[in-house]
Structure 1
Amino acid sequence: MARETENVNRNDAYSILAGKHGYQDSVRYRRILEYLMTPEQAELVALLPMKYEELANKLGMDVAAVKKELEALYGKGVIFARGPENLEEATFALAVVQLHDITMCSFDVDVVRDRKLFELWDDFCVQEWDPDQVNSWDGGEQPRGRIVPAYKAILNSPEILPWEDMREIIRSARSIAVTYCTCRRRKEAVGKKCRSSHAMVDIQFNLSAEYLISRNAGKRLSTDEALALIDQCEELGLIHTCENSTRMRPRWGMCNCCTDCCMIYEPLNRFRVPVTKCVAKSRYEAWVDQDLCNGCQDCMDWCAFDAIEMVKPEGSKKYRAFVDPAKCMGCGICVLKCEPQALSMQLVRPVEHIPQAQ
């Protein structure tokens, strides 16, 4: 992809901040930072973390003015703290993904009024960040993400582990919030309509949930409301994706993904890279009872991973669905969409397939 690196001042605050995320020479990333911060604000953020009085002395400002600027930057999602009352501990975003998500998920951000922000992010992601991410995902023994199967698809399994059961994950949380999937919100804001869903489907737990609610970027959900949202996501064919561990409250929440918009699945498909380089399969795999299959092809249409094909068995006049085990990720959506109930989920991987939480 073409990268814009001409005439970048490597010594100013914008470049220093971009360098913290590995994009010091990126003109596209600089444009995002320039949209989010004035030059004076960028200088302030480049000094963080620092006490109010130290910031005031270094910048020639009074403490009240420093606090006001920090409040504005916190509201935009540029800086992070435990809450609006703890801005003296604030830091710049730790990584691109953190800045990407929080600057676009706030309810105060409007997709029409703030369209430029979404355009800048989309340009940077498509041209630079997506290919960089794909190249960095080496898979290894433990990919970063993991698919959690649709819970209704594995109800009959006697060996469901708590961390692969969406109901148990939801019920174990002290607090829950739903926020925008920023991948989907960004795509739709620039006119790339999602074929699968609306954007309000990203689920966060506990501290992350409270943080988003405090920033007017998340809506609190009861356990029953969260379970209803999970049902809706599965009905829409979205894929539950979380960190690859036995942690019951995944640190980056529970994404409900489509292959149109997701910052993981869409680039992997675009660059023809195996999904398993970044996302681990669930412990389950779809299986077809050929005697029950009526050849309707609904499962093939719903499969996000092209793991199902229609094949005419020897001696048969009709085509039947066949699942390619190499491609099946174990999401279970096809099972939910199979009207004759010819599809089911089979447990094919051991308990050790999911790494222990560290």
Structure 2
Amino acid sequence: MAEKKYAISLNEVEAEYQELAARINYDGSKYLPWIFKKALTLEQARVALELYISSEEVASTLGISEEEAATDAQKYQLAAIAKRLNLDKETVTRHVQYMFELGFAFPTRRGWRFARNVAQLKDSQTNTKFDEELGDQYFDLWEAFQKIEGYPTGFLWELLPRLEAQGPIFRVIPARKSLKDIPDIVPEDNIEEVLRLYETTAVSHCPCKRLVRDRACHSPTEVCLVLDRVAEHNVRRGTARVISLGEALAIHDMAADAGLVCNAQGIEAKPITPMICHCHWCCCDEFAPLVMHNIPLQKLIASSCYQAEVDPDKCTGCQTCVTRCQFGAIEMKRYAGAGRQEKFKAWVDPDKCVGCGLCVIKCPSEARTMKQVKTSESIPKEGADTAGYTTAASYRKGKHLDTGSVMTRPVY
């Protein structure tokens, strides 16, 4: 853990790095200023702080009207920053491009902006290009931040009251192989059909897994399927590669084999955020805080239309399913009519099973199958009002909780 490896005190960090942390609502953070110091030179940090410059300040600095400045906001903003810091524009442009690729700076119609908050900053830590240059300490600091400051105090705690009032914001998509013998799969639970809703599919490294290296799942990191505008944004950053449908399905299968829960970023039939995640409780920055505080993951993630069931005659009691279930839905018990000497066998709690299928695909005795328990009608369609801010209609109206994820709104 970084806290043990490194002696860190805020008075050893330059004010610019502390101000960057304060700008994203972590004033007094022990780790974020050091993360910024590892990634940015002082000159780059000063440029980063200037990304907060307003359109009025851009116009005033350059002696032009706000209307003219708005015709090419990014160009004029960089020129204004160069003038304010007494740097040449090429240097400023190079620094901002580095921060864009690193995941610190983001292009918008109003110009470049530094990360809105720590969620956006964290979600964009997907570029392996800089890993060697940044070094192990950079990742140790991120892991310490996540476990010591992020999980206990992060945006998820702002979200919990809304989860209580309005229900989950993510939706399970079952492991494809768990449904292989089921005809007429509910389309919203068919990963292949979900991916066909989009024109472009790319794969990127999972930021959660990259930033928590000491994790129980030991799973591969290249498992985030990013789609359409999010795919284009990440390809432009050099953090994702475009893949075929077949490659995407193979990645999904590999992630399921590794014990990762496939979920859509939104509860609708077509996910609100064009991204499909494969998550584990040990490192996902939405799962992990709940697990840390013994809060059921079912509050965050809605079930699929399926549930696992067990054939007790085939079950050998090996407990493979117990170790693979992230939702506490499997218990070992004696079934009715079993003798006192008979083994305990797996039982699925229907109130806890979310239908991810991870237990089904790895059952060595093939004692587990999936059964349909809901219909497609139970899944909100685009434009629905159910579940409040989590639907696309309410998202467009601004009623969602804006976590600031880079996966949400890249705008060019």
- CA 1:5–1:24 in structure 2 vs 1: closer, same or farther (change >3 Å)? farther
Q: Percent identity?
A: 30
Letter of the 2:202 partner, please give it.
Answer: A
Moved more, 223-232 or 56-65: 56-65
Structure 1 residues 133-144: aligned runs within 5 Å: 133=154, 134-138=156-160, 139-140=163-164, 141-144=166-169
Say which of 14, 20, 23 aligns to 1:20: 23
Q: Distance in 2 between matches of 1:35 and 1:25?
A: 17
Matched residues in 2 for 1:31 and 1:281: separation?
A: 39
Q: CA RMSD in A?
A: 2.9
Report if the CA contact (8 A) 2:186-2:305 is conserved. Answer: no
Conserved in 2, the CA contact under 8 Å of 1:307 and 1:325? Answer: yes
In the other structure, the counterpart of 1:287 is 309
Work out whether residues 8 and 25 of structure 1, in 8 Å CA contact, stay in contact via their aligned partners in 2: no
The Cα shift of 1:117 comes to 1.1
For each residue in 1:87-144, what CA deviation from the matched residue of structure 2 results, as whole angstroms up to 9, or x when unmatched? x8321112212212323x1121226862111011111111111012353341222323
SS of residue paired to 1:81: strand
Question: CA contact under 8 A between 1:142 and 1:244: conserved in structure 2?
Answer: no
Compared CA separation, residues 110 and 57, structure 1 to 2 (3 A): closer
Alpha-carbon distance change, 95 to 287 in structure 1, aligned in 2, over 3 angstroms: same
Residue 385 (structure 2) pairs with residue 357 (structure 1): no
Contact 1:147 1:241 in 2 (8 A): yes
TM-aligned CA deviation for residue 267 of structure 1: 2.7
Deviation at 1:169, TM superposition (A): 1.8
Match of 1:81 in 2: 107
Secondary structure class of the residue paired with 2:172? strand
Q: 1:252 to 1:124 in 2, by over 3 A?
A: farther
Residue identity in the other structure for 1:118: F
Distance 2:186 2:22 in 1: 41
2:131 to 110, 114, 125: 110
- The residue number in structure 1 matching 2:398 is none
Correspondence for 2:370 among 339, 345, 348: 345
Q: Is the 8 A contact 1:205 1:249 kept in 2?
A: no
> 1:1-358 to 2 correspondence within 5 Å?
13-48=16-51, 51-81=77-107, 89-103=111-125, 105-110=126-131, 114-133=135-154, 134-138=156-160, 139-140=163-164, 141-155=166-180, 160-188=185-213, 192-246=214-268, 248=270, 250-251=272-273, 253-316=275-338, 317-349=342-374, 351-354=377-380, 356-358=391-393
Structure 2 residue runs without a partner (length 5+): 53-57, 59-76, 381-386, 394-412
Instruction: Give the Cα separation in 2 of the matches to 1:260 and 1:112.
Output: 27
Give the secondary-structure state (helix, strand or coil) at the position aligned to 2:145: helix
Q: Which runs of 5+ in 1 are unaligned?
A: none
Kept after mapping to 1: 8 A contact 2:281/2:287: yes
Shift in Å at residue 163 of structure 1?
Answer: 3.2
2 CA distance for matches of 1:328 and 1:5? 45
In structure 2, what residue type is equivalent to 1:54? A
Task: Please say if residues 203 and 255 of structure 1, whose CA atoms lie closer than 8 Å, have aligned partners that are also in contact.
Answer: yes
Equivalent position amino acid for 1:109 in 2: F
Q: Find the residue that maps to 1:110 and give its secondary structure.
A: helix
CA distance in 1 between counterparts of 2:51 and 2:204 reads 27
Cα distance in 1 for residues equivalent to 2:267 and 2:281: 22
Preserved CA contact (<8 Å) 2:228 2:274: no
Measure how far apart 1:276 and its partner are.
2.4
Query: In structure 1, how many angstroms separate the alpha carbons of the residues matched to 2:320 and 2:153?
Result: 35
**What is the distance in 2 between the residues matched to 1:157 and 1:17?**
52
For 2:134 and 2:50, the matched residues in 1 are separated by 30
Q: Which moved more, 1:110-119 or 1:317-326?
A: 110-119
Do the aligned partners of 1:335 and 1:345 also contact (CA within 8 Å) in 2? yes
- Please identify, of 329-338 and 347-356, the stretch whose mean Cα deviation from structure 2 is larger: 347-356
Secondary structure at 2:128 match in 1: coil
| In 2: Cα distance, 1:352 partner to 1:24 partner | 43
Superposition deviation, residue 47 in structure 1: 2.5
1:5–1:26 Cα contact (<8 Å) kept = no
Q: Give the distance between the partners of 1:176 and 1:287, measured in 2 at CA.
A: 33
SS at match of 1:43: helix
Q: Distance in 1 between matches of 2:18 and 2:308?
A: 48
TM-score (norm 2): 0.75
Secondary structure at the counterpart of residue 100 of structure 1? helix
Instruction: Give me the whole-angstrom Cα distance separating, in 2, the residues matched to 1:318 and 1:66.
Output: 69
